[in-house]
Amino acid sequence: MTLLSCVLMLNIKYNKPKLFYLILGIILSVIIYYMNLFSAIFGQSLQIPSKIAAMFPLIIISLSCCVGLVKINEK
């Protein structure tokens, strides 16, 4: 989660108001919560194996952090 917040803060311009950052944080928290919830539901219903369902949110967040780090490195 720290890596995700670091990527977001380094990619966003600093002249935005604090309310923007507050709303962005809340929206990202809700997205991560629902992604974790849907993954757990799919794992419990055995539509996908439970080990894959447990790792799915982590993989998605890790991939988005890696993409963000590459964008930061290109600057």
Within-domain flag for 3 = no
CA-to-CA dists, residue 11 to 8, 21, 42, 74, angstroms: 5, 12, 33, 11
55, HSE (Cβ side, Cα atoms, 13 Å) = 7
Does 46 map to a domain? yes
Within a domain: 75: no
4 inside domain: no
pTM, two decimal places: 0.68
Is 65 a member of any domain? Answer: yes
Q: Is residue 9 part of a domain?
A: no
- Residue 61: give the domain boundaries: 27-70
Task: Report the C-alpha gap between 48 and 59 in whole angstroms.
Answer: 15
For residue range 17-69, list pLDDT tens digits in order. Answer: 878 878 888 888 888 899 889 988 988 888 888 888 888 888 888 888 888 88
What is the spatial distance between Cα 46 and Cα 13, in angstroms, rounded to a whole number?
Answer: 43
- Determine the residue type at 22: L
What is the number of structural domains in the chain?
A: 1
Evaluate whether residue 12 is within a structural domain.
no
- Tell me if 60 is assigned to some domain: yes
